[in-house]
Structure 1
Amino acid sequence: MGVSGRRRRRLLVPVGLAALLVVASTGLTAAAAPSRADPLQQQVDAIHDTGTVGVLAEVTSPGTRDIARAGTAEMGSGKPMPQNGRFRIGSATKTFTAAVMLQLVSEGRVSLGDTVQRWLPGVVHGNGNDGSRITVRELLQHTSGVPEVLPYIPALGSADGYRTERFRSYTPEQLVGLAMRTPPEFPPGTDWSYSNTNYILAAMIIQRATGRSWAQEVDDRIIRPLGLTGTGVPGAFPFITGPHARSYADFGTDTSTDVTALDPSMAVGSGSIISTTHDLSRFYAALLGGRLLAPAQLDAMTTTMPAPELGDGLRYGLGVGEIPLSCGGSYFGHVGELLGYHSWVGATRDGTRTAVVYTTSDGDADTQQAMGTLMDEELCGSHS
């Protein structure tokens, strides 16, 4: 099925990646430069000027760590954005999940060529969906054709749905069952289409292969070894502990709703992790720097294919996007979104330079483009 015929999905989906293509192809003219002298602060102010409540960015390179912030931590207050505040990272969670799966591949416990049916018998079936035809690689690469579950989650769709369903818990099996109400997007391996259900299934396979939950494996293999003290997998716990800014969603209206409290179990494996800009910088630096994966598995992760659903020039590997830079070359990263928190994280190919930015409200296309400009300019290293 062509891209134009697919259901467009907004929540947890890296819609902002397409905005960077405009930035990368036309140069760094998307955001007007404020008068402040510090370039990172200028970029953060430009994002805030598009209408977001709060913005924070962090850029790291060997021996340096720069932070800039704008706006407030709570609408209508004078509270500044916390410098190492915790937030829901949304789909950047997928990079954690892919890294764990690739560690299992390195250990010989899972193969990228294994079928979903082998690990999860009878789970992907009905309405033309067939787990015996889908591989682990296709899940991680978004080439499985597995349909999206998000349209079946009321808390993500409207303010009324959020208020009614924000504390509802889901099991992974329930989530996949909801997705199976829809026919596949295309036969496995024949096209590319972003689906959070892929990573819910990946989390289920990790649990089946290890005998331990996805959350335990992420904690033991990534969070604790890297000392990511601001990062956690909340399960069904709906609140963010520690310093954090509140998040706001407009659900396509002119009214903002405080959506900070949310049971994130609908995003197991795909979008539920809570972290900080500093921890995300350390994770992506370690990942791209070869400290989490063996060379063969890192090569598999960063071997990308066109992702036409997102736009010309955008490519996707296993849990990471490859985004072109206006200065030449590309970087690896991910966009994340989960009700109000919008983030963008990326690192150079060798992991020596990272950039992370997040906002606490929806903004608009100008917001995404300004975020893309920041990532492009900082990862090009023009202000090193």
Structure 2
Amino acid sequence: MITSEKSGRGRIRLVGVVLAAAMVGVCGVANADGGGRDRPGLREAIQAFVDVGVAGMQMRVHDERGEWVGSAGVRKLGQAARPSTDGLFRIGSNTKTFTATLVLRLVAEGAVGLDASVAEYLPEFGLDRRITVRMLLGHTSGLYDYTGDTHPAGGVVPSRGKEWVDNRFHTYRPEELVRIALAKPMKFEPGAGWSYGNVNYTLARLLIEKVTRHSYADEMRRRILWPLGLWGTEVPGARTGIPGPHAHAYYRYEDAGQWKTIDVTRQNPSMVPAAGDMISTTRDLHTFFSALNSGKLVPAALLAEMRRTHPNTLGFGLGVRVQDAGPDCGGTFLFHNGSNVGYGALMYSTPDGKKTMTASITTGDAPIDIEKVFPAALDKLFKAVFCRGQTTR
């Protein structure tokens, strides 16, 4: 049911989570829910990730039975402690859902036009005037992305491998990243196709700052984080650490014919501003995604626009994905997953926001065929949370 998505850069992203995971010893699962009831189906589902090689996982479920939280695996390789169920983690492209929501709040206020030309707000870049704000949020701008692609002219920002390891503490400026992308030919005419790209959301960040005359971080705090009480969520800028309890993440890469594993918990997220840099918790992701889908953050008409999918995009709308899981699994659901090197994040909800699943995954130190084993674990997890006859366990 839930398998993989292929990005505009031609790489396979397994539901938005590219995990260079590793096999570690099977550890127990800690769990608790609001009523103290056990949920063996959920425990087994997160343990399945550890069984296929994930170092650690934490998950939070809100449904008709209340709240359930659990964790599996280890917080740090070589230690026995499990990941904290309230730990912080890098949420990767789930950041895009926050950014899209912030832009749509500005649209609701009349400060931004959803179908206005981005060049009207950011004339300094010489953008094609046909590129609209909607196209940025929906990845239909046609712009070349600046991360992780190969190009004869070079100049891309590394997203994997030894080059990324060597540059993982480098600070990038959003304007610099946009100009790297604009130096390359467009992939297609604006609006004529679809290609997932971080550059779209980096431009959205610059648009937010131009319109509001405040930093993206300040506007995110003022308009979304503080009103919702998301005290565990932040825009880290170029800070490399995670400011609170967290699980460690690891990256295995090849260097001169030798495989190496390093702790990548500390990394500079400025290479994906407003596209993949935020830090959060499972509790905060639940609160945010539930509020968004229940209509508390953007008006109903704009929420409908957010969920309007572009053809041939595996269900991408404006900062969210939409998928029909069938009647036994509640029908339509909304989600957006993400990854940084070493970290993965899952964020799922029913359209009314009443049932959610949020989770964090950290990678370990030995090779596995992630394209083969990860989809099955994710499918088992989704069914345990959302599908009829399985959530009662």
**Counterpart in 2 of 1:141?**
138
Aligned residues: 352
Distance in 2 between residues matched to 1:202 and 1:293, nearest whole Å: 17
Could you state the TM-score of these two structures normalised by the residue count of structure 2? 0.84
**Counterpart in 2 of 1:29?**
none
Give CA deviations for 1:66-112 in whole Å, capped at 9, x if unaligned: 11211101112112111110000000000000000000000000011
Q: Is contact 2:345-2:358 (8 Å) kept?
A: yes
**Counterpart in 1 of 2:22?**
none
Q: CA deviation at 1:214?
A: 1.2
The verdict on how the C-alpha distance between 1:83 and 1:18 changes in structure 2, with shifts beyond 3 A counting, is: closer
Q: Is contact 1:344-1:371 (8 Å) kept?
A: no
Q: Is contact 2:9-2:195 (8 Å) kept?
A: no
Q: Does 1:275 align with 2:280?
A: yes
* Equivalent of residue 219 in structure 2, options 213, 217, 220: 217
**Counterpart in 1 of 2:339?**
337
Q: CA deviation at 1:265?
A: 1.0
Q: CA deviation at 1:251?
A: 4.1
The verdict on how the C-alpha distance between 1:358 and 1:369 changes in structure 2, with shifts beyond 3 A counting, is: farther
**Counterpart in 2 of 1:367?**
374
Q: Is contact 1:341-1:360 (8 Å) kept?
A: yes
Distance in 2 between residues matched to 1:99 and 1:242, nearest whole Å: 26
Unaligned runs of 5+ in 2: 19-28, 30-37, 149-155
Q: Is contact 1:321-1:334 (8 Å) kept?
A: yes
Q: CA deviation at 1:250?
A: 2.3
Q: List, as ranges, runs of 4+ consecutive aligned residues in structure 1 with deviation greater than 6 Å.
A: none
Distance in 1 between residues matched to 2:226 and 2:384, nearest whole Å: 32
Q: Is contact 1:231-1:273 (8 Å) kept?
A: yes
> What is the letter of the counterpart of residue 317 of structure 1?
G
The 5 A counterparts of 1:199-218 are: 199-218=201-220
Distance in 1 between residues matched to 2:266 and 2:189, nearest whole Å: 38
The verdict on how the C-alpha distance between 1:37 and 1:232 changes in structure 2, with shifts beyond 3 A counting, is: closer
Q: Is contact 1:331-1:379 (8 Å) kept?
A: no
**Counterpart in 2 of 1:157?**
160
Q: CA deviation at 1:367?
A: 2.1
Q: CA deviation at 1:306?
A: 3.0
Q: Is contact 1:115-1:133 (8 Å) kept?
A: yes
Q: Is contact 1:142-1:198 (8 Å) kept?
A: yes
Q: Is contact 2:240-2:269 (8 Å) kept?
A: yes
Q: Does 1:287 align with 2:292?
A: yes
Q: Does 1:131 align with 2:128?
A: yes
SS at match of 1:93: helix
Distance in 1 between residues matched to 2:16 and 2:383, nearest whole Å: 11
**Counterpart in 2 of 1:15?**
14
* Equivalent of residue 91 in structure 1, options 71, 90, 93: 93
Distance in 1 between residues matched to 2:318 and 2:76, nearest whole Å: 36
SS at match of 2:94: helix
Q: CA deviation at 1:254?
A: 5.1
The 5 A counterparts of 1:72-111 are: 72-111=74-113
The 5 A counterparts of 1:228-243 are: 228-243=230-245
The verdict on how the C-alpha distance between 1:184 and 1:332 changes in structure 2, with shifts beyond 3 A counting, is: same
Give CA deviations for 1:287-339 in whole Å, capped at 9, x if unaligned: 0011111111111111222344xxxxx21110001123153522111010001
Q: Is contact 1:356-1:375 (8 Å) kept?
A: no
SS at match of 1:59: strand
SS at match of 2:337: strand
* Equivalent of residue 65 in structure 1, options 59, 64, 67: 67
Q: Does 1:321 align with 2:324?
A: no
The verdict on how the C-alpha distance between 1:261 and 1:235 changes in structure 2, with shifts beyond 3 A counting, is: same
> What is the letter of the counterpart of residue 322 of structure 2?
E
**Counterpart in 2 of 1:48?**
50
Q: CA RMSD in A?
A: 2.4
SS at match of 1:299: helix
The verdict on how the C-alpha distance between 1:62 and 1:215 changes in structure 2, with shifts beyond 3 A counting, is: farther
Distance in 2 between residues matched to 1:243 and 1:237, nearest whole Å: 16
Q: Is contact 2:334-2:348 (8 Å) kept?
A: yes
Distance in 2 between residues matched to 1:4 and 1:58, nearest whole Å: 27
Q: Is contact 2:146-2:177 (8 Å) kept?
A: yes
Distance in 2 between residues matched to 1:277 and 1:302, nearest whole Å: 23
SS at match of 2:87: coil
Q: CA deviation at 1:377?
A: 3.4
Distance in 2 between residues matched to 1:240 and 1:220, nearest whole Å: 21
Distance in 1 between residues matched to 2:204 and 2:357, nearest whole Å: 27
